Amino acid sequence: MNRKAYTLGLATLILTTASAQRVDQPSVLSRTGQLAPMTNTDDRPVEQRADDRDLIWSENFSNGLAGTNGAWTREGPDGLIWVVNANGPRGAYTQNTERITSSTWSNGFAKFASDSANSIFDGATPTPAETFIDWEGSLISPTIDLSANPLVEIEFQQRSRYCCGDSPFLLEISADGGFSWSKIFVANEGLPMNQGVSGTPTATTETRRFNIASAIESDPSNVRFRFHHNSEAGTSHYYWQVDDIKISDLPENDLKMNYAYTSTTGLGEEYGRIPLSQLPPSMNMGAEVYNFGQGEQTGVVVSCSVTDGDGAEAFSFSENIGTLAMGDSAIVDVDVDLPELAVGLYTATFTVSSDQSELDFRPEDNNRVRTFEVTNNVYGLDNIGNYPTGTQFTQQIGTASFTNNAENVKLLNMYYINAPFTVHGLEIGLGASAQSDAFIIVSILDTVDVLMSPSVVTNILTESDAYVLTSADVNLRKVTVPFFEPIVLQPGAYFAVASLYRDGTRNVTVLDDITVPQPGLASALWLPSDQTLYSNGTAWAVRLSGDPTLTVGEDMELEGVSMFPNPTTDNLYIRSTQNEKYSVQVMNMLGEQVQTTTFSTSTTMSLGGLAAGVYSVRVSSGTRAAVQRITVQ
């Protein structure tokens, strides 16, 4: 077992060789079709806890912007969107029942209602504005003298929801009266985009706490903080509600586990499903812990127990850290030898403890849980369906997600092959908005090609025919698409690719597991509009299937429609006995459209100008579709 532990000081709190390359997150793309009203609301009051620490400063907005301990100011080109009242937010995509349920909401709370600002009101009825604006505005506290108590945390209650970029909600700290903002926190870190839409939890009132001792140490007598709605996040909707702000002494003892991980590659990827044949000799496991409290923590230990579906321990580790001073963090990184594992679901429970654990102020944040599944033949980067209840976050991406990108949108997941693995097709988790008659082509690419600059996505190792989604697929929310021929992947790294195509107005969406972050190009997006590869940062539900029973079926038939001859040297005749209007698409093996036409009863297409090879001919009536392979000689 290889072990590494790193202690970080206060200031740091914040198949091929090409397969190890990493890139930064892409710039925010222009997405469409993502905004949606919340499916339900949750008005549970925020959890309260007994607390005998000194309360140094507070604000409940009972006096509006005049404040109870000094006046608040609004700043930025859109700062006036910040208001204080007791009304819930309202807009084209927001119900006023989505109001914060903070301890003192009834006497007023601060609110940045970006959805409302992006709506046009006809009386009391909001409709979406023609163009959405990413608003920029801050709500700034009065100056606070904390020189008598510089070891403090700030706590507030909030309810937030955002779309369609990164989180725009920032808590920023100044120790020079607001001249500069030296410390920036993401106020809702860990919460997914579009809470309340199918697949994501409902937005609720929560309490957030941040240790600001290091941020104010240069001059604790001249402290200000602000709630900053950041326009650079590329987010136009929905709201941020804040109330019941407190500044208190830090607790004496408060260890926290920030995150934990289980990686079979040692490069940061956390695969949710791993076939038995692809398990490595060891698993890279680790966690980061943080001393949130004032007091020194001694005898700090990080331990992990991995249990099977019956609760029996399969393997474990324990790592001594020693002593952590106030504000320090430590990273434990361990390569744990794997025993022989059976097929099934495994749960890794990470725990941090110390000599002061019995006095820990918030013991509930001393643990983190990761899960992974050992399978017979499914290899998945995502872990959808395997998370503990209430912890799974997903979103959906597809042919309506990005402007001018309705056909050949490619979703790529990287898979490391440790031993020869026969892949028969790809298993795809469909989003709730997927519709029948849209279609998917799946393929395998080598990482060497994809990681070139610019990316090469045309050197296909194997692929499928165009697979038309059926109502049964959409209802099941999953489809497995077979390749023309199985492929044996030799040790190395490969991309599994799902290429998505719209049928008229009928779209296909694929689930994105946003519960666990993934590094670099472990999961990626390729857009045809700019032919650029972007890092996803999470995991598409695009999985390798080694199921030997998966075979290519006969060509689908559209009742009354026939095409001949096959093979052909030039003309392809298409006939229909039905009185309907049909569209025809001819696609090459790269999924590129090379010819189109429309007809009602018959048409003749000249394919003689195409290179010899196999083509997919897709015929659609708008409500029904089918694909047939045609060989051009």
The stretch 328-340 carries a mean pLDDT of 96
How many helices and strands in the chain, by DSSP H and E?
Answer: 4, 43
Integer Cα distance of 290 and 325 in angstroms = 9
pLDDT at 4 over 90: no
pLDDT of res. 196: 59
Q: Check whether residue 341 and residue 316 sit in a common domain.
A: yes
Integer Cα distance of 626 and 614 in angstroms = 16
Residue 14 within any structural domain of the chain: no
Q: Check whether residue 196 and residue 70 sit in a common domain.
A: yes
pLDDT of res. 23: 29
Residues 216, 223: contact at Cβ < 8 Å?
yes
- Cα–Cα distances in angstroms (integers) from residue 435 to residues 113, 477, 591, in the given order: 33, 10, 20
Q: Which amino acid would we find at residue 568? A: T
Higher pLDDT pick, 22 / 457: 457
Per the structure, how many domains does the chain have?
A: 4
- pLDDT tier for residue 390 given thresholds of 50, 70 and 90: confident
CATH number at residue 595: 2.60.40.3080
CATH number at residue 293: 2.60.40.2550
Residue 353 within any structural domain of the chain: yes
Q: Which domain holds residue 501?
A: 394-545
- pLDDT tier for residue 200 given thresholds of 50, 70 and 90: low
Residue at which a domain ends, from 249, 270, 296 = 249
Residue at which a domain ends, from 249, 281, 311 = 249
Residue 19 within any structural domain of the chain: no
Q: Check whether residue 215 and residue 91 sit in a common domain.
A: yes
Q: Check whether residue 245 and residue 131 sit in a common domain.
A: yes
Higher pLDDT pick, 11 / 390: 390
Residue 28 within any structural domain of the chain: no
Integer Cα distance of 357 and 592 in angstroms = 61
- pLDDT tier for residue 395 given thresholds of 50, 70 and 90: confident
DSSP string, 290-339: EE-SSS-EEEEEEEEEEE-TTS-EEEEEEEEEEEE-TT-EEEEEEEEEP-
Residues 408, 37: contact at Cβ < 8 Å?
no
pLDDT of res. 29: 37
CATH number at residue 218: 2.60.120.200
DSSP string, 36-73: ---S----PPPP-----SPEEEEE--TTGGG-SSS--E
Q: Check whether residue 165 and residue 202 sit in a common domain.
A: yes
pLDDT of res. 354: 98
pLDDT digits (tens, 9 = 90+) for 66-125: 999 999 999 999 999 999 999 999 898 888 889 999 999 999 999 999 989 989 998 888
User: In this structure, what DSSP letter does residue 362 have?
Assistant: -
In sign, the C-alpha dihedral spanning 573, 578, 584, 586 is negative
Q: Check whether residue 354 and residue 273 sit in a common domain.
A: yes
pLDDT digits (tens, 9 = 90+) for 205-240: 999 999 999 999 999 999 999 999 999 988 888 999
pLDDT of res. 15: 24
Integer Cα distance of 139 and 1 in angstroms = 51
